[in-house]
Amino acid sequence: MADAAKYCEDMGFDIVDINFGCPVKKVVTCNGGSGCLRDLPLVERLLKSVRSAIKIPLTMKFRAGWNDKELVAVKMAELAEDNGLQAIALHPRTREQGYSGHADWTRIAEVRPRCRRFR
């Protein structure tokens, strides 16, 4: 991913955004998209690697968690802040919910006070 991000920067892109939000089964089963929400050490390694490879802004989007029992929104935001990302986008649904069900907007409110960069 670091090589891909560097390539994008070299091609003149203004920003790199990592998508940890995709809930689609074929993406999740190869540990992509929201599948990464179950492996936060992997997320941290990816963020460190990509951040160190580029000078342009790095952002990420992610879901609140895998399901209602495995919520990681605050931890993901902290990882983003700790690794110098410029912005985050939180989808307040879980991977299990996909694109339906109740979007719990309080999850965004939980992230905001914990991360100074994203207030």
Give the catalytic positions in this structure: 22
Kindly state the DSSP code that residue 71 receives in the 8-state scheme.
B
d(CA 12, CA 71): 36
Q: Which amino acid is at 62?
A: F
Query: For residue 20, what are the β-bridge partners?
Result: 62
Strand segments, DSSP code E, in the chain are 16-20, 58-63, 87-91
Written as six digits, the tokens of 36 are 């990464």
Task: Give the list of residues 6+ apart from residue 30 with CB closer than 8 angstroms, or none.
Answer: none
